[in-house]
Structure 1
Amino acid sequence: MDMRTRLNDALKTAMREKEAARLSTLRLINAAIKDRDIALRGTGEETEVSDEEILAILGKMVKQRQESARAYEEGGRLELAEKELAEVTIIEEFLPRQLTDEEVATAVDAAMASVGAESIRDMGKVMGELKGKFTGQMDFGKVGPMVKAKLG
């Protein structure tokens, strides 16, 4: 089942069961996806975002909410932080399982071997390979420095 279908089914279920917080979060996800669809129409490329792009959108949404929750906690607004973290939990239901540190290291080594990376100039190739295979499964903000250290 593709991501759009899963999200729409979850949205319908949330409506039926009157789960307001879940419904709100799912509507935000759909809005972000539709925004990306509209942006693609302007370029004349595909008419709909792919599942990989949806995973990237969801990953970005999780990261934004985690940062907001941290800011709210620092500001003493715990109720808002809890709301953000509840949204993170809902969004993460649609993301694949996150890789462990050992699995990430193994994936980085495999990507470096598959593209024949030898120097820091090959970092883009390695990151492209990883993003193609592991979108939504690893934090590329943490993986980038790891790749850089291994190549540098």
Structure 2
Amino acid sequence: MGKGQIYYSSEEVLEIIDSYFNMKRAIGLHVESPYSYSVTADYDNLGMPKGNGTGDPTFRQAFSGAHKILSGVMEKDFMKRINFIDERVPYIKKRREVNVLHWKLSGMRTKHIAELEGITDRQVRNILRKIAKSISEISAISDISNVS
């Protein structure tokens, strides 16, 4: 393997894909959850009182800027894994794979992806396994081509 090159097995890639959204949130990168829908505008139209943020104190404490949860080493590891996926996403070309990967990296659960795509939960998991295998193979090929 070339100097500085990263390789993950398809099982490791699948784990990274599964935890991608949470890793980004944990290190404070902006992520838009597909589950976050602001209904504040709708409340205005209904004459309902507005909320002032999340009511979950654990969430507020865990994700507030006041608490640095991760060590520098863990943060670097998360960034390495996030960048690994980000650099290889453009190699995924099939429309269904692109859609499934997009929703999964956005933090959506497989059962909801299945509903959106009109397929079964099992098919979504199979697509994610296929994507993970492709990404793993792409990284192995790029590592081989970088060795001189």
Q: Provide TM-score, normalisation by structure 2.
A: 0.31
More helix, by proportion: 1
Query: Which of the pair has the greater relative contact order for Cα pairs under 8 Å at 6+ separation?
Result: 2
Q: Provide TM-score, normalisation by structure 1.
A: 0.31
